[in-house]
Structure 1
Amino acid sequence: MKKNIVLLIMIVSLTGCLWEKIEITSDYIINGNWSEHVNSIEINKLRLKKDSTINPFANLNQAEILEKLEDDTSFIFVGNVKYNGEKYSTRKVFFNKKNNFLWWTTKGDTQIETIGSLQKNTWYKFSSLGNYPYIVYIYVDSANKVHRFTVNQSNW
């Protein structure tokens, strides 16, 4: 019985290491998990729910993030990263420059070449990151520094 538990813990630990790094700044994202077949992204601007407060400089847990933030439907964009000669897993996808693909709203009624740099003092949610099983929440502070919180929604 103890061997099975140890084996299970080892498998879960090793599986968690299979995902590559994702780097997000206010101007671009690099997703080491993207490939020719898996290369999507969804970016949602978030706002605080009514009567909520949240300190983006604290060590927040996923319950606090999920309970206090909600989508701002004025900014929800989806993209499929197209091949441009660069390796998918190391490619910088810019928010404020053309990337050789279009961003579109989840309603599909708007397509644009750039979505602009991420705004200061604003929360964002990054999902549909290929085979990466987590959702990444970020806060861009007044100095344009990104504070990252990774959430496993399958536990929620």
Structure 2
Amino acid sequence: MPKEKGRSLVASNRKARHDYTIHDTWEAGIVLSGTEVKSLRAGHANLTDAFATVDDGEVWLRGAHIPEYSHGTWTNHTARRTRKLLLNRREIVKIEREMGPGGTTLIPLSLYFNDGYAKVELGLGTGKREYDKRHTLAEREGRREAERALAARNRRAR
């Protein structure tokens, strides 16, 4: 069977970009059991309540929901188990250093297959206040309106 090429998205945490200001991102491998891989290939996963922690020099994904595989047997996995993430030692040290000051969180942004391997995109972010969220929405709306006005002006100029 030929090896998979490219990137196929399984799940994304869209709420994370709304609730946090993302400063830096990393791509990490993830340690999975067989039925978890099958469930992910079927497109089932949820990162809404997930977060990552660094414990004793290892990075762990907590709260990610990968449902049990429908055709699994007694060897099926637990849906919300803690999963180990695979990063280089330098990356883990950098993450620990940047998480030192209070208020920073390691958040999974997306879960995908890259050339056949399951990967998690992690983002280091600080929580947004309510007024920051409103400001971001107002900026986005202003940008959309400006683009619409430009498009309408270009249509009339033809």
Q: TM-score range by the shorter chain?
A: under 0.3
Higher alpha-carbon Rg: 2
TM-score computed with the length of structure 1 as normaliser: 0.22
TM-score computed with the length of structure 2 as normaliser: 0.22
